[in-house]
Chains A and B, each alone.
Chain A
């Protein structure tokens, strides 16, 4: 049996989506996958959401801008690494400009206060813009591989629904009502809806309702463009060449979230190509036969030996407990490659560290 590796799982992929709960090293893993591709001679781009500062520095992500920029490194022939940190608002702005009938319509939307709030406050916008950016980069054809990190949101896993959710928001019948220009229109809606509108006005103030109205008015005519785009983005999410890597850590909460995500993907007809378990404790096996901590403790001059035995027993205990979580996630992701990445000697904050992670993800290549 060969050492588990992501190599087979990602063969032929042109998009890799890294998903999983927060705090398990998702960004680092995504960057390491791109580093490996670049080192293997591919043109790879990594889209990150919220990198830790030192990793961001290492990838040159200090610079503003929503476009990929090259990262110097020992890349293979013809290969290269590009990185970008997602700017949700600027991605959304680009989308609006693309589908607006002209600069006037685009300007009316972009300057609307309600629109400006959408990028920051509407749940799912960041997720949608991550896949939107992914689609744009893939569509341009500049890269052999685009690796995307998904946002550390509360559910951490909702980006699959994000395109639909945004469309639902833009289609909401409440807004249709808001857009009816005359009082006659208002009279036509039922009493319950009128009450709802009054409540909104009372809670948030008439000014805000006015801004929302202006936004939806300005947006009129663009829905079809957005809808078509959404369909294409969804098609990319389902493409055979798009692979999902589920990143977890063998802890109870992380495993529960990762299993949930695996079920969601399966329900959407998509499979998990690989599972990466990060920060796995080493297992040096059970304590040696014939001697254990209590026995040793009863011996004279055994303080050092007792400590050594206690340590081995504790590490074995946590490794055993982690193994149960790893098995549970493996059972929830039939057919997926499983790769374990141990606790690393130090935190990853440069290309050398990323290469070390890549060596665990793609051993022997």
Chain B
């Protein structure tokens, strides 16, 4: 599938996963890949952390006002970023209902806590309601794709199941209407899909399988491919270090042989573990996998994000085309279809393509 087609399947993509699996990185990667495929991407951070702007090489945390994280250029759309915290969403909800004057007081006095306690899930529904609003306004705002970096730490199911829960719990009123709208959005595959993120390790795999089934059962949201982040690129590493050196006509001292041999043992072991886990994931979850490489660094900035976007585009290109009945009619844009993303002016990705 072409990356542009992949990014045109739905207007909203919600990226979800447990803490520590690289959910924010994947959200940023998805947005950048979409932009390079000529889509205009908006990435929404519901927690307001510094991680998202840092991936685009920016120090300042995002705020409520949209900022350009990546300018549009020849053939590429922009990446716009903004936060959308529950407090933001409540303030805007009240503004929209002509209650601007109380909105400040409500957030400042802890009244949001009262409301949130009275109706669990109201924070989530305010945020998702605002996402729905952004989606509705997308054509007029010049947005093609909205990538939502969902809350972490196992809240993904709760976050997305809120709308159905509130519909069952509340008979009338604006919150019920909001919940119904949000549920419409979540259950329409042409409008919204969820990308689940995991790592090729035992516990993250177990958790993503559980989350996937819960989301299907309790929300009915369309699940896109599972993103397996942090895949160690596979190298064919021989046991016999001395032999490999001799083959190339190189003599290594014992210390060097020992170090290379120990390093190879470690890598082979990690490679075996991750192969077992992605296989287990494939067996447990009938979803395609998009694998992103581990980049051998713990600091991800703009160059690494570019490399990951390349890798994601490559993995997407390897996916089969979407099943015909679900093929979305992408909203008309003024731009002609872009050629596949190649030869982007990125630093080389020395981690190589995903395994």
Task: Give residues in A with beta carbon < 8 Å to B.
Answer: 21-24, 50, 52-53, 114, 117-118, 120-123, 152-154, 156, 168-169, 172-175, 192, 195-196, 199-200, 202-205, 208-209, 211-212, 249-254, 256, 282, 284-285, 288, 291, 296, 299-312, 314-315, 317-318, 321-322, 324-325, 343, 345-347, 349
Contact = CB atoms under 8 A, between A and B. Distances in A.
17 contacts: A23-B20, A52-B206, A118-B117, A121-B121, A152-B19, A202-B174, A203-B174, A204-B115, A204-B122, A253-B24, A305-B244, A305-B247, A307-B235, A314-B296, A317-B296, A322-B298, A347-B203
A314 B271 CA distance: 14
Interface string B119-156: 11110000000000000000000000000000111110
Contact of A174 (B24, B99, B111): B111
Contacts of A50: 154
A22 B120 contact: no
A314 B350 CA distance: 9
B298 A252 contact: yes
Contacts of B153: 22, 152-154, 156
Nearest to B50: A256
B102 A304 contact: no
A22 B19 CA distance: 5
B260 A211 contact: no
Contacts of B263: 282, 284, 308, 311-312, 315
A311 B259 contact: no
Contact of B235 (A200, A211, A311): A311
Given A23-B20, A253-B51, A175 B114 contact: yes
A199 B115 CA distance: 10
Nearest to B207: A52
- Provide the main secondary structure of the chain A interface: helix
Given A195-B102, A204-B175, A252-B299, A212 B154 contact: no
Closest 5 CB pairs of A and B: A23-B20, A22-B19, A288-B256, A121-B120, A304-B244
B110 interface: yes
Contact of A288 (B152, B259, B296): B259
Nearest to A211: B118
Interface residues of B, number: 76
A157 B213 CA distance: 30
A312 B260 contact: yes
A117 B120 contact: yes
B44 to A, nearest CB: 16
B70 interface: no
A343 B200 CA distance: 14
Contact of A282 (B54, B266, B351): B266
A23 B250 contact: no
B300 interface: yes
A78 B11 CA distance: 62
A309 B49 CA distance: 38
A178 to B, nearest CB: 9
Contacts of B152: 22, 154
B253 interface: yes
B105 interface: yes
A313 B122 CA distance: 50
B161 to A, nearest CB: 13
B297 A114 contact: no
Contact of B109 (A123, A174, A251): A174
Nearest to A257: B49
Interface in B256-282: 256, 259-260, 262-264, 266-267, 269-270, 273
Contacts of B121: 121
B72 interface: no
B300 A347 contact: no
